[in-house]
């Protein structure tokens, strides 16, 4: 999914309030090793996401080095969509969501 596999992935979870500019960092932390492998598999291999209108209240950003690279975005709640760095949209697996949720709780 990323141009090269990063040594670790940082998960940054944000609370989404009313508008696109009204977000607050909720929590986050690094993921590496086997957990990173499972997370990347769960957001890369997920099925395509159909149109969905369910709202989400949290989302995660997975930035990776180098600086300026495109991150991945994952809805936490709603339809669990993933916007991948290559612009494709998919859906996160339950395993990937569990990792994001456990990491974003601190």
Domain annotation covers residue 1: no
Domain-embedded: residue 24: yes
Domains held by the chain: number: 1
In a domain, 4, yes or no: no
**Closest to 45 (Cα-Cα) out of 10, 4, 93:** 93
pLDDT along the chain (106 residues), means of 10: 68 75 78 89 72 77 73 86 85 91 74
Q: Is residue 32 part of a domain?
A: yes
Give the model's pLDDT for residue 12.
Answer: 87
Kindly report the three-state secondary structure assignment for every residue of the chain: CCCCCCCCEEEEEEEECCCCCCEEEEEEEEECHHHHHHHHHHHHCCCCCCCCCCCCCEEEEECCCCCCCCCEEEEECCCCEEECCCCCEEECCHHHHHHHHHHHCC
pTM of the predicted structure, to 2 decimals: 0.78
Flag whether 93 is in a domain: yes
| Position 81 in a domain | yes
Provide the domain limits for residue 42: 9-104
């Amino acid at each position: 999914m990323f141009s090269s596999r990063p040594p670790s992935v940082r998960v940054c979870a944000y609370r989404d309030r009313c508008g696109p500019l009204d977000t607050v960092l909720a929590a986050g932390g690094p993921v590496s090793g086997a957990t990173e492998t499972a997370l990347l598999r769960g957001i890369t291999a997920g099925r395509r996401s159909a149109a969905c209108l369910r709202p989400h209240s949290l989302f995660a950003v997975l930035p990776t080095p180098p600086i300026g690279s495109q991150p991945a975005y994952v809805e936490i709640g709603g339809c669990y969509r993933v916007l991948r760095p290559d612009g494709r949209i998919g859906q996160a697996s339950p395993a990937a969501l569990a990792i994001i949720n456990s990491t974003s709780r601190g």
